[in-house]
């Protein structure tokens, strides 16, 4: 994909900023002030959606006061309880009205000054996602930086979408694409991998961004997050590889198990036939029978999962493909046909 001029003015668009916050009361004022300072002369319409994720320290009240001070372009969504960062981010994305959506954390560690540059690259290079890369992280090396690098390497190797910093919340999306992705659990860190289902990996790029040390509040992350990433990665791998063909996953295991079981039973049969060996009390006979039974179960599960998948796509609005919107007008039933001459 050709590189565009980074200083070129992006085409007209509307920008939605989504900021999830949880117990970040002291960060609300400098965060909103910093965003407005950066976007004071932004050439296109923009809005800010602040999502309070069930905070207990007065974050929601502080957000409401600041929203009334800045104006109607600052909207506050208050979740009924703490649902987690992924759910808060999804709520903000659902409420966003812009053609371009930018997300960032509410802890002041992401620099809002990077947003216009990321938006410009997204639109000028015709990308679907630009991911921030915190090359110089201002975090604890052993508890945050090194575990993050290990997790990024694992995610990249398994998903095939290789980025330096999956965990950076500062990302800019094309709204038409990110709204096709549904986020659950703690899957926000795998957004680039999920988006690779809807778009080509070549339309996902990363950009070095500024990263600042936390000034107020406490970090919500710890070393345990790395272990959760590994567990979530198993789910991501399965859905990315086998979402539309789960029978291939179970079928491979079933065929491998059945093949091993048949080899074991064939070996015992030859020994019984040629050497009159007593195989009735040998544990290997039980192993062979169990492997064949496991194969039958896995193959049956594969067939059932294929039926469930087909029922899911047939009975819901979801499909196994995604068409890129190109801005062209939809054709009527009579238009767009080549009519016969004469």
**In a domain? residue 4:** no
Same domain, 259 and 305: yes
pLDDT of residue 130: 96
Alpha-carbon distances, residue 170 vs 42, 92, 120, 189, 320 (angstroms): 18, 14, 14, 11, 29
Same domain, 237 and 250: no
- pLDDT of 216-239, one tens digit each? 766 655 555 666 777 777 888 888
pLDDT of residue 219: 65
**In a domain? residue 173:** yes
pLDDT of residue 200: 87
**In a domain? residue 8:** no
How many structural domains compose the chain? Answer: 2
pLDDT of residue 264: 95
pLDDT of residue 330: 62
Same domain, 33 and 103: yes
Alpha-carbon distances, residue 151 vs 76, 84, 89 (angstroms): 32, 20, 21
What's the rounded Cα separation, in Å, for the pair 191 and 171? 10
Alpha-carbon distances, residue 182 vs 42, 152, 194, 253 (angstroms): 30, 21, 9, 29
Same domain, 146 and 278: no
**In a domain? residue 323:** no
Same domain, 204 and 230: yes
Same domain, 285 and 224: no
**Spans of the chain below 50 pLDDT:** none
**In a domain? residue 332:** no
Q: Are strands 171-174 and 100-103 parallel, antiparallel or unpaired?
A: antiparallel
Copy the structure tokens of residue 94. 């659902």
Same domain, 224 and 78: yes
pLDDT of residue 239: 81
User: What residue numbers bound the domain in which 295 lies?
Assistant: 246-313
Widest Cα–Cα separation across the chain: 92
Query: Where is the domain boundary, 242, 271, 303?
Result: 242
**In a domain? residue 114:** yes
Query: Where is the domain boundary, 212, 242, 272?
Result: 242
Handedness of CA 191, 176, 3, 17 (dihedral sign): negative
**In a domain? residue 97:** yes
Q: Are 216 and 118 in contact (CB under 8 A)?
A: no
Helix (H, G, I), strand (E, B) or coil at 51: strand
Dihedral-angle region of residue 102 (phi above 0 means left; psi in -120 to 50 means alpha; beta otherwise)? beta
CATH of the domain at 34: 3.90.550.10
Q: Which residues of 7-18 are buried (b: 16+ CB within 10 A; e: fewer)?
A: eeebeebebbbb
**In a domain? residue 203:** yes
């Amino acid at each position: 994909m050709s590189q565009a001029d980074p200083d070129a003015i992006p085409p007209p668009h509307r920008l939605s900023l989504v900021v999830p916050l949880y117990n970040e009361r002291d960060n609300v004022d400098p965060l909103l002030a910093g965003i407005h300072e950066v976007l004071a002369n932004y050439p296109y319409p923009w809005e800010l959606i602040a999502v309070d994720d069930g905070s207990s320290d007065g974050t929601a009240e502080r957000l409401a006061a600041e929203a009334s001070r800045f104006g109607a372009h600052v909207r506050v969504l208050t979740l009924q309880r703490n649902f987690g960062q992924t759910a808060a981010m999804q709520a903000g994305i659902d409420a966003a009205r812009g053609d371009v959506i930018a997300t960032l954390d509410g802890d002041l560690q992401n620099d809002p000054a990077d947003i216009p540059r990321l938006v410009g690259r997204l639109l000028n290079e015709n990308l679907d996602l630009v991911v921030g890369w915190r090359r110089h992280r201002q975090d604890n090396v052993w508890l945050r930086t090194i575990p993050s690098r290990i997790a990024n390497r694992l995610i990249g190797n398994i998903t095939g979408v290789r980025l330096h910093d999956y965990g950076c919340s500062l990302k800019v999306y094309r709204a038409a694409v990110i709204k096709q992705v549904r986020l659950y659990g703690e899957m926000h860190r795998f957004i680039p991998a999920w988006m690779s289902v809807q778009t080509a990996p070549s339309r996902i790029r990363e950009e070095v961004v500024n990263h600042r040390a936390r000034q107020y509040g406490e970090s919500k992350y710890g070393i345990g997050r790395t272990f959760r990433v590994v567990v979530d990665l198993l789910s991501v791998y399965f859905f990315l590889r086998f979402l539309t063909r789960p029978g291939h996953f179970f079928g491979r295991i079933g065929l491998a198990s059945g093949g091993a079981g048949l080899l074991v039973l064939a070996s015992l049969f030859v020994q019984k036939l040629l050497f009159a060996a007593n195989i009735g009390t040998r544990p290997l006979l039980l192993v062979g029978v169990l492997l064949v039974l496991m194969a039958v179960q896995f193959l049956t599960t594969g067939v059932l999962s294929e039926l469930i998948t087909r029922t899911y796509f047939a009975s819901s609005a979801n499909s196994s493909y995604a068409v890129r919107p190109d801005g062209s007008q939809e054709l009527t039933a009579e238009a767009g046909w080549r009519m016969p001459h004469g």
